[in-house]
Chain A
Amino acid sequence: MPIQINKGVLGKEFPPFAVTVERGKIKEFARAIGDLNPLYLDDRVGAASEWGDLIAPPTFAITFRDEGADTNALLRELGTDISRVLHGEQEFELHRPIRPGETFLCRSRVLDVYERTGKSGPMAFVVRETAVTDKANEIVATARHITVVRL
């Protein structure tokens, strides 16, 4: 019996949240991927680079989350739970590299909710966008995330 997804989440805006990029988290993230690029790991190489410090790998913004928020709240609001969701697609637009010590503001909203039937049955797609801005209110990154819910 397929579940029903709550399409009322379309257009939902989440409370903005701030993140501060920790030097050690950049290194931990790069090492977890097994990407040992010295620009991610070696402080001296970073300092001598055109960016003046370490930079984060291209997918690092996936770590930006609202630590104070209940991560399962959106899933509950959708009418599902974590055992039914898959990561369908992910995109990052990167306007400049991310460096340690920077504080950003993240604003997320639900851009689209739609249903399709694939090989493995009916599925709902929830498209979220997160805009990451710096203290000068310049856009640093835009992340688009498609969650697939197996109905």
Chain B
Amino acid sequence: MKYARVYAEDVKVGDELPPLAKGPIQQIQLTRYAGASGDFNPIHQDDEFAKAAGMGGVFAHGMLSMGFVAQALTDWAGAGRVRKIGVRFAALVRLEDTVTCRGRVLATSSKDDLHLVELEIWAENGKGEKVVTGKATVALPSRE
């Protein structure tokens, strides 16, 4: 039931998203994301460049991690339901890191036919350190 539909009536404050585990991050995924996104910053591709820039080596595009967090959200709420998603890139994601995306319902509101759910969202690396933190709002359908 990966894409089971969630309805506004089923959601309450404190509910957690099913965690989504991504990675381990491979260089080929960063190369692929560069092509798909158009972000060809060599800091995500070229270890020598990244070291010379003082970053200690290649790291993942923040937007790739944001894409992972967005996936955790849409796996739960459904594609096309996200109204707002905002994140801070709190720490670098390195090659071989795993990224586990999580979320928790902060608030729900209903006005007329619009049922909104506000969540805190975040992603952790394998050491449990937060690499992405943020908030999102999704609009859910009603059972009525």
Contact pick for A87, options B84, B86, B89, CB 8 Å: B89
Q: For the complex, is A94 an interface residue (Cβ under 8 Å from B)?
A: yes
Cα distance A85–B4 in the bound complex, in angstroms: 40
Which residues of the partner chain A approach B74 to less than 8 Å between Cβ atoms? Answer: 35, 37, 57-58
Q: For the complex, is A20 an interface residue (Cβ under 8 Å from B)?
A: no
Given contacts A32-B36, A33-B64, A83-B52, contact A55 B80 (CB under 8 A): yes
Which residues of the partner chain A approach B70 to less than 8 Å between Cβ atoms? Answer: 33, 35, 57-59
Which residues of the partner chain B approach A91 to less than 8 Å between Cβ atoms? Answer: 84-87, 134
Q: For the complex, is B82 an interface residue (Cβ under 8 Å from A)?
A: yes
Q: For the complex, is B37 an interface residue (Cβ under 8 Å from A)?
A: yes
Q: For the complex, is A29 an interface residue (Cβ under 8 Å from B)?
A: yes
B119 CB, min distance to chain A CBs, angstroms: 13
Task: Let me know if B63 and A82 touch, CB within 8 A.
Answer: no
Task: Let me know if A84 and B53 touch, CB within 8 A.
Answer: yes
Listed stretches B6-14, B27-35, B110-118, B123-131; interface member: B27-35
Which residues of the partner chain A approach B42 to less than 8 Å between Cβ atoms? Answer: 82
Interface size of B by CB at 8 A reads 40
Interface size of A by CB at 8 A reads 38
| A to B contact number (C-beta, < 8 Å) | 112
Q: For the complex, is A40 an interface residue (Cβ under 8 Å from B)?
A: yes
Q: For the complex, is B19 an interface residue (Cβ under 8 Å from A)?
A: no
Task: Let me know if B87 and A90 touch, CB within 8 A.
Answer: yes
Task: Let me know if B63 and A59 touch, CB within 8 A.
Answer: yes
Cα distance A39–B74 in the bound complex, in angstroms: 11
Q: Which of B77-115 contact A (CB under 8 A)?
A: 79-80, 82-89
**In the complex, what residue of chain B is closest to A40 when comparing beta carbons?**
B79
B80 CB, min distance to chain A CBs, angstroms: 4
Cα distance A90–B68 in the bound complex, in angstroms: 14
Task: Let me know if B61 and A29 touch, CB within 8 A.
Answer: no
**In the complex, what residue of chain B is closest to A148 when comparing beta carbons?**
B89
A97 CB, min distance to chain B CBs, angstroms: 4
Q: Which 9 A-B pairs have the closest CB atoms?
A: A91-B86, A32-B36, A33-B67, A83-B53, A39-B79, A87-B62, A35-B71, A58-B70, A58-B82
6 further contact pairs, Cβ within 8 A, besides A32-B33, A32-B64, A95-B83 = A32-B29, A33-B68, A34-B71, A83-B52, A87-B62, A94-B83
